[in-house]
Chains A and B, each alone.
Chain A
Amino acid sequence: MTMQEPKSFASSDSSENGLFKVALPTRYNFDRIFVIATWAATLFGLVVLAVLSIDVLVDGLPRLNWSFLISYPSRRPSIAGILSPLIGSIWLLVVTALIAFPLGVGAAIFLEEYSTDNWFTRLIEINIANLAAVPSIIYGLLGLQVFVRWMLPITAGRSILSGALTLTLLILPIIIVASREALRTVPSSLRQAGYALGATRWQVIREHVFPLALPGILTGTILALSRAIGETAPLIVIGALTFITFLPPISPKGLQSPFTALPIQIFDWVSRPQAAFHNNAAAGIIVLMLLLLLMNATAILLRNKFQQSR
Chain B
Amino acid sequence: MFSQNTRLASVASILALALAVTSCSSNGGNQASSPSPTGAANTPGGGDTAVNTTNTSNTTTSNLSGNVTVDGSSTVFPISEAMAEEFQKANPGVKVTVGKSGTGGGFKKFCNGETDISNASRPIKPEEVDLCKKGNVEYVELPVAYDGLSVVVNPQNTFAQCLKVDELKKMWEPTAQAKVTTWNQIRPSFPNERIGLYGPGTDSGTYDFFTKAIVGEEGKSRGDYTASEDDNTLVQGVSADKGGIAFFGYAYYAENKDKLKLVAIDGGKGCVEPSEATINDGTYQPLARPEFIYVKKTAASRPEVKAFVEYMLAPANKKLISEVGYVPLPDELLTEVQARFQAGKVGSIFEGKGSQVGLTLKDLLKQEK
- A-side residues, CB < 8 A to B, are 46, 49-50, 53-54, 57, 61, 64-67, 72, 74-76, 78-79, 157, 241-246, 258, 271-274, 286, 290, 293
Contact string, B135-146, partner A, CB cutoff 8 A, digits 1/0? 000000000000
Residues of B within 8 A of A61 (CB): 9, 12-13, 16
Residues of A within 8 A of B230 (CB): 271
Within 8 A of A (CB), among B1-60: 1-2, 5-6, 8-9, 12-13, 16-17, 19-21, 23-24, 27, 30-31
Q: CA of A272 to CA of B78 in the docked complex: distance in angstroms?
A: 13
Stretch at the interface among B80-88, B167-175, B277-285: B80-88
Among residues of B, the one whose C-beta sits closest to the C-beta of A74 is: B85
Asked, given contacts A75-B78, A245-B84, whether A64 binds B2 with beta carbons under 8 Å apart, the answer is no
Asked if B324 is at the interface (CB within 8 A of a chain A CB), the reply is yes
Partner of B20, one of A65, A78, A245, A246: A65
List 5 A-B residue pairs with CB atoms under 8 Å apart, sorted by A's residue number.
A49-B2, A61-B16, A66-B16, A243-B99, A245-B85
Residues of A within 8 A of B97 (CB): 241, 243-246, 258
What is the predominant secondary structure among interface residues of chain A facing chain B?
Answer: loop
Taking a contact as CB atoms under 8 Å apart, the answer to whether A75 and B81 are in contact is: yes
Q: CA of A75 to CA of B97 in the docked complex: distance in angstroms?
A: 13
Residues of B within 8 A of A273 (CB): 232, 235-236, 239, 255-256, 259
- Chain A nearest Cβ from B29, distance in angstroms: 11
Q: CA of A246 to CA of B30 in the docked complex: distance in angstroms?
A: 21
- Chain B nearest Cβ from A15, distance in angstroms: 49
Additional pairs, 18, CB under 8 Å, beyond known A242-B99, A243-B81: A57-B8, A57-B12, A61-B16, A64-B16, A65-B23, A66-B16, A66-B21, A67-B20, A74-B85, A76-B30, A78-B27, A79-B30, A243-B84, A246-B96, A258-B97, A271-B232, A273-B259, A290-B9
Asked, given contacts A271-B232, A272-B232, whether A75 binds B324 with beta carbons under 8 Å apart, the answer is yes
Asked, given contacts A244-B97, A273-B236, A274-B255, whether A67 binds B23 with beta carbons under 8 Å apart, the answer is yes
Among residues of B, the one whose C-beta sits closest to the C-beta of A258 is: B97
Taking a contact as CB atoms under 8 Å apart, the answer to whether A245 and B88 are in contact is: yes
Taking a contact as CB atoms under 8 Å apart, the answer to whether A75 and B2 are in contact is: no
Partner of A78, one of B16, B30, B236: B30
Among residues of A, the one whose C-beta sits closest to the C-beta of B22 is: A65
- Chain B nearest Cβ from A115, distance in angstroms: 42
- B-side residues, CB < 8 A to A, are 1-2, 5-6, 8-9, 12-13, 16-17, 19-21, 23-24, 27, 30-31, 69, 78, 81-82, 84-85, 88, 95-100, 114, 230, 232-233, 235-236, 239, 255-256, 259, 324
- Chain B nearest Cβ from A148, distance in angstroms: 12
- Chain A nearest Cβ from B256, distance in angstroms: 5
Among residues of A, the one whose C-beta sits closest to the C-beta of B228 is: A271
Residues of B within 8 A of A75 (CB): 78, 81-82, 85, 324
Taking a contact as CB atoms under 8 Å apart, the answer to whether A157 and B232 are in contact is: no
Taking a contact as CB atoms under 8 Å apart, the answer to whether A293 and B16 are in contact is: no
Taking a contact as CB atoms under 8 Å apart, the answer to whether B24 and A67 are in contact is: yes
Taking a contact as CB atoms under 8 Å apart, the answer to whether B78 and A57 are in contact is: no
Q: CA of A258 to CA of B98 in the docked complex: distance in angstroms?
A: 11
Residues of A within 8 A of B13 (CB): 61, 64
Which of B82, B232, B239 has the most chain A CB atoms inside 10 A of its CB? Answer: B232
Among residues of A, the one whose C-beta sits closest to the C-beta of B88 is: A245
Residues of A within 8 A of B16 (CB): 61, 64-66
Q: CA of A49 to CA of B69 in the docked complex: distance in angstroms?
A: 41
- Chain A nearest Cβ from B162, distance in angstroms: 24
Taking a contact as CB atoms under 8 Å apart, the answer to whether A274 and B256 are in contact is: yes
Q: CA of A72 to CA of B233 in the docked complex: distance in angstroms?
A: 22
Taking a contact as CB atoms under 8 Å apart, the answer to whether B95 and A245 are in contact is: yes
Residues of A within 8 A of B239 (CB): 273
Q: CA of A113 to CA of B27 in the docked complex: distance in angstroms?
A: 59
Residues of B within 8 A of A72 (CB): 85
Residues of A within 8 A of B69 (CB): 258
Taking a contact as CB atoms under 8 Å apart, the answer to whether B30 and A66 are in contact is: no
Residues of B within 8 A of A243 (CB): 81, 84, 97-100
Taking a contact as CB atoms under 8 Å apart, the answer to whether A57 and B9 are in contact is: yes
Q: CA of A19 to CA of B99 in the docked complex: distance in angstroms?
A: 78
Residues of A within 8 A of B259 (CB): 273
Q: Nearest 9 A-B pairs (CB), nearest first?
A: A66-B20, A246-B95, A65-B20, A273-B235, A65-B16, A272-B232, A243-B98, A75-B81, A273-B236
